[in-house]
Structure 1
Amino acid sequence: MTDGTWITLISLGVTFLFMLGTPVLLIIFYWVVGCSFVLDLTLDNTGSEMLNVFKDGFALLAMPLFILTGDLINKSGIAKRLSDYAYACLGWLRGGLAMASIGACGLFAAISGSNSATTATIGSMLHPEMVKGGYDERFSAATAAAGGTVGIIIPPSIIFIVYGFLMNLEVGQLFLAGIIPGVLMVFAMMMVCFVVCTLNKWGILISISPARIVKTAIGAWLGFFAIGLVLWGIYTGKFSPTEAAGVTVGFGIIVGLVSYPLNKIMGSDSTTPVDQKSISSMFVVEGFTLPEIPSIVVRSAQITGILAPLIAVSVVMQQILSLLGAQETIGGFVTSMGGYYPVLFTSMAMVFVAGMILESLPVTIIMAPILAPIAASVGVDPIHFSVIFLVGASIGFITPPYGLNLYVASGVTGVPYFRLLRYSTMYLGSLILVWILVALTPELALFLLPNR
């Protein structure tokens, strides 16, 4: 049999295994190993390439640090204060807690810069609260997965940095371009929450209270400070986004260790809602002790252990696709479309399909150098196209069969992967509509940029 026949049989075989419920990591790994034998690539080469993904990938060093940041902010109580603020603003609406989860994802994304860390933190924190509030556990887990998609769009974003490096674009401009589309994604998902929860009568309504909103905003000041610290440091050039991850880890540790004794001195009960605390105790979060840090690090390592192998094996998959001539084939096909909109929407379709089977990093590494020059040749603004490309890549995080955020949400909530799909598809539809709107309206990406 020819190599093409073998690769087709291997692809059909792993597809069958996926339908039987085999983990996505093993599906991709089996395909990589099978194709390596067909192409006469040694397993030693496969192993070394997977190791080099992290050995040579400076930007990826931020991943475990951003995940650790999420767990530190969660454990210290900062994330809870941010979600309390979001709930105070939205709790008077049907599905307010679910909408607050989406809002909290947007706020947390501005600190973590990571979609998976956002999903893991907000999912582990608010999923139990939503279930207690009468929400379907599948909807709750799917909400955390969908909310995490803004983690790579709302700045800071590691994937924007990678894209800017690959395409020689200014990262600061990419960050600014992602703000409005990221906000639109959050708003669209909130609308889905409202409609679904209204139809199912989920959630407990609270009365709107300006005093509660002000108090929760004061209680969340450390979270807002962390967001400002990250953005200030990156935009002023004080530190790189990867270094920003280290800064936020240090910030989280200091706040947690200092807040715990202060919290005890003030006699504040960590279970008391922030809007019922005294003014002085609102300024101090719950914090944690020094002996608790190892357990926080272990939890972060567990999430990193889920993501790192997926990223590594996906990059090796990209290399095999390159050997098979996938890049040349894709480039020739898109170029043959001709015209502004045919090229634009064909590129979007390519990104969508790639996001179904690959993580955003290999999608960017494979597709951006092929599609961006073609889009530019027909008049698409490079910054605008970067946002179109990466919004599409973010949608891939809740698109089966890969759906990395679905995988993470399943891990932190205990809801099986396939049970998330019913409600995640509703969020997927809203995000696709935003994606199309951003593609058709360049001003949404370029409005905040100077001289554009």
Structure 2
Amino acid sequence: MTQTLRLANRTGFEWLAAMPAFLVLIFVILLNTSHATHAQLLKLGENVWDGYFQLRSDPIQPSCEIDGDIDGQLTRLIAENAAPADEDEWDLFDEEPEPIDDAVLRQSLVNAQVVCETKHQTYAQTVDRITPAVRAFRAVELAVADFGEFGLHAQRIMLAVLVLICGMTALFRRHHIALRPMETVMDYRVASFSQMIASGILFFSVYSFKEVVFNAGVVVSSEHGLLHYLWILGFAVIFLLSVYQFIVVPKDAKPGGSFLKAQLAIPLYATMCIISGTYFISNGHMAGIGIYLNQMMELSQLFLNVGLYVWIGMLVKRTQMAQAVFNIFRPWNLPPEMLAVVVVVIAALPTAYTGASGIFVIAIGGLIYNELRRAGARRQLALAATAMSGSMGVVLRPCLLVVIIAALNKEVTTDQLFGWGVNVFLLTAVLFAAVAMLTKQGTLSVEKASVAWPETKKALWKLVPYGILIALTLAFYAIFLNAYLDEFSAPFILPVMLLVVLIYERMGQEKMGREQMNIDHIENRLEESWQDLKSGNDSIEKTLREATTETTGHIGALLMLMGLSVSIGGVIERSHLMDLVPGSFESIWLAMGLLVVILVVIGMVMDPYGAVILVSATIASIAYDSGIDPVHFWMVTLVAFELGYLSPPVALNHLLTRQVVGEREVALASQEGHNFWYRHEKFLLPLTVMGIALVIVAFGPLAIGYN
């Protein structure tokens, strides 16, 4: 009984923390689905009732008289026209008005009468056509339309709620991204103190921005007013929580610690906040960070999609699809290097559907690392492949990062970027295979086809149900909502698809569990076992709860990092650092070389979405004015960013890899390797591949005269 109560309390606490984020994510899915649903309802209404747009609201009865006295009206108008005008209304330079033809006036009255009769007939016909069926249908259609309209106005509020709730969750769990985890008492003290200072700056900035807006003498809408108070309340709570964490250190923290090493445990968002806040406050711009946070709200739909993609990644993590795909290759006993190539290439597609390389590493990185280790891969190679597993897919459809680029830059379209992205993907895949094979250890031998193929065929058959479920889900959206899986619909179709897959898997597990219990005939524990099965790892409820709980921490870490990256971008923009770079270059080669260096540095210190916003505002125009083709420039930008995410000192993808594989594996990997390459392969392999790719993508088109 005690254990059951403890489990129930834990479940309730997890849902209490995850429920707000869960509701926001479901709201966003329903909002996006409502737009497609409304379009189909309008189409259906028009097909069933011709001219349905006239039936969407009750018609207004015409005010004109259908049986008016034309002769009486004509007599009255003639009399009014013949009456002398007041002298004050005459102007000496006005010409005397021409007399009105009685016949023309009569015909005008007759025509007006005909129009009036037509209006009354249309009104009567429309009233007759508004049957109970029409009223019921339009009630549904208008409700969907109203929900969509409400959602469009509520998106900023929803994003603010998501940022604050998930930010608090990440802070409470100490889940924010840092260069190294907190281990010692000193680490916890320094990291908590920095977050206390950062949250204080955020509170002061958003409060100052509210004062500026409300005292500006303009009308503030209720939506924007609520947004300001949400920021103030949210960051006040975050500040209090950080004060508590500064005072109370976890009991399992190691005593002592180095103050200098503890600097590496400071979350990156806190460092960015302190830097940008210090700059804005020292320049008398108290509301600086608050302003840039609200600029983030202008792209609320895109950043809400980031939250959905993180949730998608956590749902994928809890399906058996990745294991099922690995089962295809296990019978062949591929050498570790060859398996690493296969994994990185295959991972490109789900990366494109999870929005960014970091999200994919969080979702599937642990599984990739374990499978490579099981195949005999050295730890350094497994870490390198895991960190790079999402780097190739960011240029493929329907990656959210490319959608954001196209939304912010009218010079390019998603079709252009995705078209060239296929070529970049093939280039990086070939380069990764070449470098991995050149640095292999041992011989390249695989299992005989006669031995491996029967097991592979069984594994392929197990993928058939997944293919059918995915096809049915996509068919449902295509047939009933006219929505097809692309970069615009993926955020709201993929979660539904994964929920269908999870329900299928869990129903199968529950069926197997019931059959097993019947076979065992353990009558005295039947009810207890069934309750354990329902509340265990295989239940739908627990799967959703754990996926959402994990999602909240990751969303908080990512969105806080993105928001402060936008603020850092504001510092760079307002400090006029980019003024040090010429507005254009006579040499396109020199321009490309300098821009490549700048883009890699930006990728090293900023998250992808914040970096795209900064580059769009400051650097893109320099490239265009220097003669660099916009599509070429953004392809270079994407590759440079991925190189930056794999490059020290920050190496964001490596930080995320460390989170999913554990500190112990990373520590053991640092002790392996008989030469410099193999001791640092987790960094050198990705840097070599992406470095060569960047040089080719940047300067190859210039050499052949593409620009």
Q: What is the 5 A alignment of 1:170-185?
A: 170-185=413-428
Match of 1:244 in 2: 490
Distance 1:133 1:93 in 2: 7
Contact 1:135 1:202 in 2 (8 A): no
> Does the aligned pair in 1 maintain the 2:351–2:360 contact within 8 Å?
yes
Distance, in Å, in 2 between the alignment partners of 1:225 and 1:202 is: 40
Identity %: 17
User: Which residue does the alignment assign to 1:187?
Assistant: 430
Q: In 2, Cα distance between the equivalents of 1:304 and 1:202? A: 43
Change (3 A) 1:48 1:194: same
> Hey, what does 1:434 align to over in structure 2?
693
Q: 1:119 offset after TM fit, Å?
A: 0.9
The Cα of 1:426 is off from its aligned counterpart by 2.1
Match of 2:305, as an amino acid?
A: A
Distance 1:307 1:288, change over 3 A: same
Contact 2:296 2:566 in 1 (8 A): yes
Q: Which residue is 2:35 aligned to? A: none
Counterpart of 1:154 (choices 392, 396, 401) is 396
Gaps of 5+ in 1: 1-15, 270-285
1:361 aligned to 609, 616, 633, which one?
Answer: 609
In structure 1, the residue matched to 2:571 is: 320
Aligned to 1:31: 275
Change (3 A) 1:247 1:75: same
Match of 1:144 in 2: 386
Aligned 8 A contact 1:375 1:385 in 2: yes
Does the aligned pair in 2 maintain the 1:146–1:424 contact within 8 Å?
Answer: no
Change (3 A) 1:203 1:105: farther
Map residues 20-419 of structure 1 onto 2, 5 A cutoff: 20-23=263-266, 24-42=268-286, 45-47=288-290, 49-50=292-293, 53-54=296-297, 56-85=299-328, 91-168=333-410, 169-196=412-439, 198-199=440-441, 201=442, 206-208=447-449, 209-220=452-463, 222=466, 238=484, 241=487, 243-262=489-508, 265=511, 289-332=540-583, 335=584, 337-415=585-663
Shift of residue 253, structure 1, vs aligned partner? 0.6
CA contact (8 A) 2:365 2:661 kept: yes
Which amino acid is the alignment partner of residue 156 of structure 1?
Answer: P
- 8 Å CA contact 1:343–1:375 kept in 2: the answer is yes
1:305 shift after superposition: 2.5
Q: Is the 8 A contact 1:143 1:424 kept in 2?
A: no
Amino acid at match of 2:562: I
Structure 1 residues 22 and 69: alpha-carbon distance in aligned structure 2, compared to 1, 3 A threshold: same
Does structure 1 conserve the Cα–Cα contact (< 8 Å) formed by 2:427 and 2:693?
Answer: yes
Q: Secondary structure at the match of 2:433?
A: helix
The answer on whether the counterparts of 2:353 and 2:399 sit within 8 Å (CA) in structure 1 is no
Partners of 1:35 and 1:374 lie apart in 2 by 25
Pair 143,244 (structure 1): closer, same or farther in 2 beyond 3 Å? same
Contact 1:258–1:287 (Cα < 8 Å) also in 2: no
Contact conserved, 1:110 with 1:155, CA < 8 A, in 2?
Answer: yes
Could you report, residue by residue, the CA deviation over 1:34-61 in whole angstroms, capped at 9, with x for unpaired residues? 323322232x542563365257432111
Whole-angstrom CA distance in 1 between matches of 2:470 and 2:653: 24
CA gap of 1:303–1:138, structure 2 versus 1, over 3 A, is farther
How far 1:17 sits from its partner (Å)?
A: 6.2
Whichever residue aligns with residue 250 of structure 1, its letter is V
Q: In 2, are the aligned partners of 1:28 and 1:314 still within 8 Å (CA)? A: yes
TM superposition shift of 1:259? 3.0
Instruction: Work out the CA distance in 1 between the residues paired with 2:595 and 2:330.
Output: 38
Please say if residues 92 and 207 of structure 1, whose CA atoms lie closer than 8 Å, have aligned partners that are also in contact: no
The separation in 2 between residues aligned to 1:358 and 1:210, in whole angstroms, is 46
Q: Distance in 2 between matches of 1:122 and 1:261?
A: 23
What is the CA–CA distance in structure 1 between the aligned matches of 2:549 and 2:346, rounded to whole Å?
A: 24
CA distance in 2, matches of 1:237, 1:338: 47
In structure 2, what is the Cα distance between the partners aligned to 1:345 and 1:211? 52
- 1:50–1:203: structure 2 CA closer, same or farther, 3 Å change rule? farther
The 1:189/1:218 distance shift into structure 2, 3 A limit, reads farther
1:9 corresponding residue in structure 2: none
For the Cα contact (< 8 Å) 1:146–1:405, is it kept in 2? yes
Tell me the alpha carbon deviations over residues 47-89 of structure 1, each in whole angstroms, 9 at most, x when there is no partner: 5633652574321111121121122122121122233346568
- CA separation in 2, counterparts of 1:432 and 1:18? 30
Which of 111-120 and 44-53 deviates more?
A: 44-53
- Distance (whole Å) between structure 2 residues aligned to residue 266 and residue 442 of structure 1: 57
Q: Which amino acid aligns with 2:340?
A: A
Within 1, Cα distance between the matches of 2:317 and 2:697? 32
Shift of 1:388: 1.5
Shift in alpha-carbon separation, 1:373–1:185, aligned structure 2, 3 A: same
Cα distance in 2, alignment partners of residues 430 and 179 from structure 1: 17
**Which structure ranks higher in relative contact order (CA pairs < 8 Å, sequence separation ≥ 6)?**
1
Distance 1:407 1:94, change over 3 A: closer
Match of 1:400, SS state, is coil
**Cα distance in 1 between the residues matched to 2:329 and 2:415:** 27
User: What is the rounded CA distance, in whole Å, between the counterparts of 2:352 and 2:298 in structure 1?
Assistant: 27
| SS of 1:247 mapped into structure 2 | helix
Q: Post-superposition shift, 1:160?
A: 0.9
Cα shift readout 1:83-110 (whole Å, capped 9, x = no counterpart): 3346568x53442333333134213224
Range with bigger deviation, 310-319 or 19-28 = 19-28
Aligned to 1:273: none
Tell me, what secondary structure is at the counterpart of 2:581? helix
1:77 and 1:287 in contact (8 A); partners too: no
1:325, distance to aligned residue in structure 2 (A): 0.5
Q: 2-side partners of 1:181 and 1:304: how far apart?
A: 29
Report the secondary structure of 2:265's partner residue.
Answer: coil
| Alpha-carbon distance between aligned partners in 2 of 1:302 and 1:224, rounded to the nearest angstrom | 33
* Contact kept in structure 2, 1:133 and 1:203, CA below 8 Å: no
Q: Secondary structure at the match of 1:294?
A: helix
CA drift of 1:402 comes to: 2.7
Q: Deviations over 1:331-371 (max 9, x none)?
A: 43xx2x42222222222122112212222222222223444
